[in-house]
A and B are shown apart, each in its own frame.
With several copies, the nearest count.
Chain A
Amino acid sequence: MSELVKEENRDNAPPIKEGLAAPVQQPLPLAFINGEALIKKPEDLFIPPDALEVILETFEGPLDLLLYLIRKQKFDITTLPIATVTKQYMEYVDTMMALKLELAAEYLLMAAILAEIKSRHLLPKRSDDNEEEDDPRAELIRRLKEYELVKQAAEDLDTQPRLERDIFNAHVEVSESVAPIRIEPDVSLAEIVLAFSAAMKRAEAFEHHTIEREALSTRERMSLILSMLNTSQYTPLERLFTVDEGKAGVVVSFLAILELVKEQLILCIQAGPYAKIHVKLGSHEEN
């Protein structure tokens, strides 16, 4: 143990007014750091009372405060001068408590850990002690090193170029002709057949009359003929037949025309016997 520190009366210790003002009992060096005696209190230990709340916010917990105390005095973490650090740490904690600042439990827990390490060091070593097993000082050093690493990582992360601060998204408007594409749902042929069947069954049950089922080719031809005709001009009948379809095609067209006449969708006229037949959209009733 290289450090030698007089135990302080924690309850009566006045808050340190300024860095150079030596407390009453200060004849001994504060600490020996790597063999050198430290007599003066570090100046940064002066804490203006109104700054205490700020300090609580400045430090991210007891590890951060400890790191600050160690680094400020250029101590080496690996040789953690436990007595000095404990003393300074206690001064912070006591002052905060004296000012009745709400102190996070973690600070008090650390105080207890430091006190325990210090008391262990004051006790004579027993030869049969297996120090390696649970040396609280080694554990604290490990935690301090680990925390320091995380602190550094956080600082590095903060300097990493980031959106909104260092880099900005380059965005381009789409030209006006860009329109969202709608993907239409898939329909299967089976769905259509079943839908038709369902509709017809409902109609039959409802209306009690059967609905005739014509050959689809006839109905398709009816649609085709309708789209070829108009209401104002007559179209020669033969234009509705196509030669290359053969006899079957002629039959389908003929059936379609008869059906269209029956449904009063088209009008057929013939000027005289054997004259050409003309058709147009419309019904006889109107003419």
Chain B
Amino acid sequence: MKRINTAQLKQLVEAAIFVAEKPISKQQLKETVLNEFTVADSTLSKVIKELKLDYQPRGIQLVEVASGYRFQSLDALSPWLSKLWQENAPKYSRAMLETLALIAYRQPITRGEIEQVRGVAVSSNIIKTLTERDWIKVVGHKEVPGRPALYATTKGFLDYFSMASLSDLPNVDTFESMAESIASDSPLKVLNEAPSE
């Protein structure tokens, strides 16, 4: 195993995060570009921290999302940067966003449970679109008659919304404490009496 000095390590890590096609984790860095060097975890963390600071005043930022590190443009520049593309960013329907929010905040959750909360049927198209975007996936099946699929969000979802983990979801604490208080107000078993599909 060769040695690498901190300056070279920093250059290599910086370039690797920039040229990688997806966010790259420390583990992936160690298995690829750094695989012939002896690099302590603490050194790697230190270098990444330095890079974050280096870019703080710049137009792009080094951020950590669910599947690793990536450089992304400064949020505040989006009104001008979006002019680089002819098409506007896709807009998502309320039905899609509510379904996604329920899966994000209440995962793992079945389609039937989503329908119970929303009071309407969830179209198959929504589930299909969310799956194709790699935002949700089936993580198992609920052991009830019909064994419905249990949905959860993916790393791709967190990456897209620039989050490192589910705890970065907006108002996650408020949501949870409120959900608990609602549940304690009236017995949860009432849920079972809600109209089924």
Take A147-B119, A198-B192 as given contacts and tell me if A169 and B172 are in contact as well, using a CB distance cutoff of 8 Å: no
Q: Which of B87, B119, B159 contacts A143 (CB 8 A)?
A: B119
Does B175 sit within 8 A of A, measured CB to CB? yes
- A203, B160: Cβ atoms closer than 8 Å: no
Take A191-B191, A192-B101, A216-B169 as given contacts and tell me if A175 and B75 are in contact as well, using a CB distance cutoff of 8 Å: yes
Distance (whole angstroms) from the CB of A113 to the closest CB of chain B: 9
How far is B168's CA from A217's CA once the two chains are assembled, in angstroms?
9
Encode contact with B along A170-200: 1 for CB under 8 Å, 0 otherwise.
1111111111111111010111111111111
- B100, A195: Cβ atoms closer than 8 Å: yes
- A219, B71: Cβ atoms closer than 8 Å: no
Distance (whole angstroms) from the CB of B101 to the closest CB of chain A: 3
Residue of B nearest to A230 (CB): B140
Take A185-B92, A189-B161, A191-B97 as given contacts and tell me if A227 and B193 are in contact as well, using a CB distance cutoff of 8 Å: no
Does A50 sit within 8 A of B, measured CB to CB? no
Does B53 sit within 8 A of A, measured CB to CB? no
- A172, B120: Cβ atoms closer than 8 Å: no
Distance (whole angstroms) from the CB of B179 to the closest CB of chain A: 6
How far is B76's CA from A167's CA once the two chains are assembled, in angstroms?
9
- B170, A160: Cβ atoms closer than 8 Å: yes
Residues of A within 8 A of B8 (CB): none
How far is B160's CA from A220's CA once the two chains are assembled, in angstroms?
17
How many cross-chain pairs have Cβ atoms below 8 Å apart between A and B? Answer: 314
Does B6 sit within 8 A of A, measured CB to CB? no
Encode contact with B along A57-69: 1 for CB under 8 Å, 0 otherwise.
0001111100000
- B97, A167: Cβ atoms closer than 8 Å: no
- B97, A180: Cβ atoms closer than 8 Å: no
How far is B94's CA from A157's CA once the two chains are assembled, in angstroms?
11
- A180, B162: Cβ atoms closer than 8 Å: no
Distance (whole angstroms) from the CB of B61 to the closest CB of chain A: 8
How far is B161's CA from A75's CA once the two chains are assembled, in angstroms?
35
Residue of A nearest to B23 (CB): A173
Name which of A13-21, A85-93, A269-277, A278-286 contacts chain B. Answer: A278-286
The CB with the most chain B CB atoms within 10 A, among A106, A147, A226, A229, is that of: A226
Encode contact with B along A150-173: 1 for CB under 8 Å, 0 otherwise.
111111111111111111111111
Does A109 sit within 8 A of B, measured CB to CB? yes
Residues of A within 8 A of B107 (CB): 219-220, 222-223
Residue of A nearest to B190 (CB): A139
Take A178-B81, A198-B98 as given contacts and tell me if A161 and B162 are in contact as well, using a CB distance cutoff of 8 Å: yes
- A197, B119: Cβ atoms closer than 8 Å: no
- B72, A167: Cβ atoms closer than 8 Å: yes
A-to-B contact residues, CB < 8 Å: 60-64, 104, 106, 109-110, 134-135, 138-139, 141-143, 145-147, 149-185, 187, 189-200, 202-203, 206, 211, 213, 215-217, 219-220, 222-224, 226-227, 229, 231, 263-265, 281-283, 286
B-to-A contact residues, CB < 8 Å: 15, 18-19, 21, 60, 70-75, 77-78, 81-83, 85-92, 94-95, 97-98, 100-102, 104-108, 116-121, 133, 139-144, 150, 152-153, 159-163, 165-167, 169-172, 175-176, 178-179, 182, 185-186, 188-195
